[in-house]
Homo-oligomer: A and B are copies of this chain.
Amino acid sequence: MTLDSSRSRRAAAAVAVRPGEAGASSREVLLQTALDFFSKRGFTGTSIRDIANALGVSVSNIYHYFGSKEGLWLEIMEYSVKTLPDRLEGALTGIEAPLERFEALVRAHLTVSTSYQRELRMIFLQQDRLTDGGDRVNQDVQRAVLGIYIRELEALRAAGIIRTPHLKILAFNVLGVINWQLRWYRGDGPLPVDTVHREIVDFILHGLHGPDSN
């Protein structure tokens, strides 16, 4: 359920694998296991043998499907994090009022964050150990998301709802609240996801002073 049904292909050695077959199943299992390790220990903290041994398969298997360790990383990025900007934009279509748009943006962001919690943890753990092309992916996505927030904040300022001239700082503050949730929130804890999302939206919109203060 957390996986996209249409899967793109980019590996070096692997060729045409039809989705929904036994071959794809091996692929998926490898991706999921790699995701578990990458999101918990980061890129350098995870070895190819960690992933292979966890599944009881050989390391050559991974190279057969993904070509390299970085290829495996990028494959995970491909179906998850890279889709983030489009998903955020999609949540805005049809909404006109700036404040409504902004709230929809935050809510959509939280929803995607919940779906791709491990994938997003990966990019926030990773620290310039990939080749240039690999780093680019993360930077582009983060820049795109920031751009969306700044654009919406500009609309809020034009509407007279916010006054600060430092929209970039404001955008980072909002992103901080949303992304920090990736660090502390555990789905298996006592807090329901709806409660957490509602509290975060309230905090972003009203800060410490609750929604009844305006």
Residues of A within 8 A of B (CB): 40-45, 102, 124-125, 127-129, 156, 161-164, 166, 168-170, 172-173, 175-181, 183-185, 191, 195-196, 199-200, 202-210, 212-214
- CB-based contact B161/A173 at 8 Å: no
**Measured between alpha carbons, how far is A143 from B79 in the docked complex, in Å?**
35
Residue A41 contacts which of B127, B163, B176 (CB distance < 8 angstroms)?
Answer: B127
Residue A208 contacts which of B166, B168, B206, B210 (CB distance < 8 angstroms)?
Answer: B206
- CB-based contact A164/B202 at 8 Å: yes
**Measured between alpha carbons, how far is A195 from B170 in the docked complex, in Å?**
11
Considering residues A196, A199, A210, which has the most beta carbons from chain B within 10 angstroms of its beta carbon?
A: A199
CB distance from A37 to the nearest CB of B (A): 11
**Measured between alpha carbons, how far is A191 from B173 in the docked complex, in Å?**
15
Further pairs besides A42-B42, A42-B127: 11, Cβ < 8 Å: A41-B44, A42-B45, A162-B208, A166-B199, A169-B195, A169-B199, A169-B200, A177-B180, A206-B207, A207-B209, A213-B213
Helix, strand, loop or mixed for chain A's interface?
Answer: helix
- CB-based contact A173/B166 at 8 Å: no
- CB-based contact A161/B208 at 8 Å: yes
What is the chain B residue whose CB lies nearest that of A202? Answer: B164
Known contacts A204-B207, A213-B214, A214-B209; is-contact A191 B169 (Cβ 8 Å): yes
Residues of B near A177 (CB, < 8 A) are 173, 176-177, 180
CB distance from A51 to the nearest CB of B (A): 15
